Chains A and B, each alone.
Chain A
Amino acid sequence: MSPLGKRFKLVDDFNQAENHDYHLLPSRFAGLDDGRYLLSNEVGEYLVVDRSQLESYVKKAVDQDSDFYHDLKSKHFLFDDDSNVAIDLLALKYRTKALRTSQFTSLHLFVVTLRCDYTCQYCQVSRQTDDKHAFDMSEETARKALALVFRSPSPAIKIEFQGGEPLLNFNLIQYVVSEAKKLNETHKRDLQFVITSNLSFLDDTVLAFCQEHGIHLSTSLDGNEALHNSNRPRPGKNSYEITVKGIKNAQRFLGRDKIGALMTTTEKSLSQVRSIIDTYLEHNLDCIFLRPLSPYGFAVKNHQTQKYDIDRWFEFYKEGLDYILEINRQGHHFVEVYTQIILTKLLSPFNTGYVDLQSPSGAAIAAIVYNYDGDVYASDEARMLAEMGDRKFRLGSVHTDSYEDIWLSDVLLDTLESSLSESAPMCHDCGFLPYCGTDPVYHYATQQDVVGHKAFSGFCAKNMKIFKHVIKLLEDPDTKKILTNWVR
């Protein structure tokens, strides 16, 4: 390259830092694969490095003229005497990531009934009963819960109706929606509603109601007809038929974006991920959430079998994700939701609202559950745990406790504080921390300890595997192009 004219100084003249004299910025690392590491900073920017790069970075031996040095500097792993604006920028980015926590509870789940027309064996909570009212939420309970909902400072509030089968108590849903809208005339939040339903009772009245209030529907679709019917038994053995008919009707009357489906993974699902995905494609769904086996549904197992389950589930996830990438390569935009959440954390300056990957824990901060009887739980899992006999995460009741009693309860504050990833052993210096979270209810359910020993944790094992897999997928430029399109 020809030099510049005489009036101009050279690049070295503008370097005010001595070579090898740089300061480390907060960072963490974790093994990625053979001899390679993921190095991440406080706000989730990352580099994939080999052992010698990692060592020279920490030991301050990186050559200042190298691209590696400039990458470390540009991604805020170090700063030198030439520039200290990195501190300002990191603070700003940290603030952006923490924004979700400060906004507090945005998702409010109303368990409007425990009654259900299904008899799924893994369900811990549903009841079959002739007594219509024993397990239904009353208007009084709902009114008291709503008063708590609007105490949340969150600018966006989402009320999700759950069950049992919530449409069995449709009158109460109508009541809550109309009361919430009335209250919102003064509170002026961005208010949204979701009904999580098996769609058995999705008739014209319900559709018209959803239409009128812009209500979203969320249903369960576990896969092809045989799998779905076996996972979700119902008198009449036609749950698949009813569900896909409901999906179609909702798509037609409300619009495709108003209906989404979730799947539960069971032992039977593990061998047929492609067929499950095909079912989602056939029914014009744009995404799928390949969810892990729930420790609540299958009852809590001992450590070893649980890890074995994770390995098997991960193979299922990996095969599914490969297939989904193939679908995208064929020109059809189709998203795996868990991967999408992780990609957003990896590739954008924002955090996601996903409850299970937050620190402090999303329990009660991001989402809270009002049970049919007015009991308040830190999460849906906490409610299931209670149905299994352990009321550890019951925070109070709408009938007897105030907003302050519930959100400042000892059980909640202790849980949040002690389960912070930033202070948990094995988490606080893990390279995946910025993308991960803490799940005190899971760790309590599996290890009787809200922090949990991560070497034994299925949560940790599962997420580490996924993080590593996704980060390696991003190394292929063509795959990266597809995956960056998923980032929200």
Chain B
Amino acid sequence: MTKHELSFDVRVFSLETIKRALYRYQDKCSFDIQLRDSDIVIAFESSIEDMADRIKREVLDQDLRDTISKQTANVRQLILANAFSNTGLIG
């Protein structure tokens, strides 16, 4: 088990994003999350060698996911509204 610490700038990544990313690795390790100045600091122990890299990558992915979901929320509503209006057409 090696101790790791990762920090993310809150001006770049939201706490929500970081939490979503960590959620995916809860089967691998448990995390301490702290706010230090403008950094979100994550501490964890893991024997998996590239765990820190994996988490960094996951945070970046989660950030992209957040962008997609924010930018498409309205159009998604529009599509669903259209989908459930009666069109008389089924593929």
Contact = CB atoms under 8 A, between A and B. Distances in A.
Contacts of B91: 92-93, 95-96, 349-350
A28 interface: yes
A94 B83 contact: yes
B47 interface: no
Q: Shortest 9 CB-CB distances between A and B: which pairs?
A: A91-B82, A96-B91, A94-B83, A455-B27, A91-B83, A26-B72, A26-B76, A95-B83, A429-B65
A54 B64 CA distance: 9
A187 interface: no
B1 interface: no
Interface in A337-388: 349-350
9 contacts: A23-B75, A24-B72, A27-B68, A28-B65, A58-B67, A92-B87, A95-B84, A303-B27, A425-B20
A473 interface: no
Interface residues of B, number: 28
A28 B76 CA distance: 12
Contact of A425 (B23, B28, B78): B23
Nearest to B72: A26
B24 A87 contact: no
Interface of B: 20, 23-28, 61, 64-65, 67-69, 71-72, 75-76, 78-84, 87, 89-91
A403 B75 CA distance: 37
Contacts of B65: 28-29, 429
B90 A99 contact: yes
Interface residues of A, number: 34
A303 to B, nearest CB: 7
Nearest to B78: A87
A204 interface: no
A24 B78 CA distance: 13
A24 B79 CA distance: 13
Interface of A: 23-29, 31, 42, 54-55, 58-59, 87-88, 90-96, 98-99, 303, 307, 349-350, 425-426, 429, 453, 455-456
Nearest to B77: A26
A425 B25 CA distance: 13
B24 A95 contact: no
B90 A429 contact: no
Contacts of B26: 453, 455-456
Nearest to A349: B91
Contacts of B61: 29, 31
Contacts of A350: 91
Contact of B69 (A88, A93, A429): A429
Contact of A24 (B24, B68, B84): B68
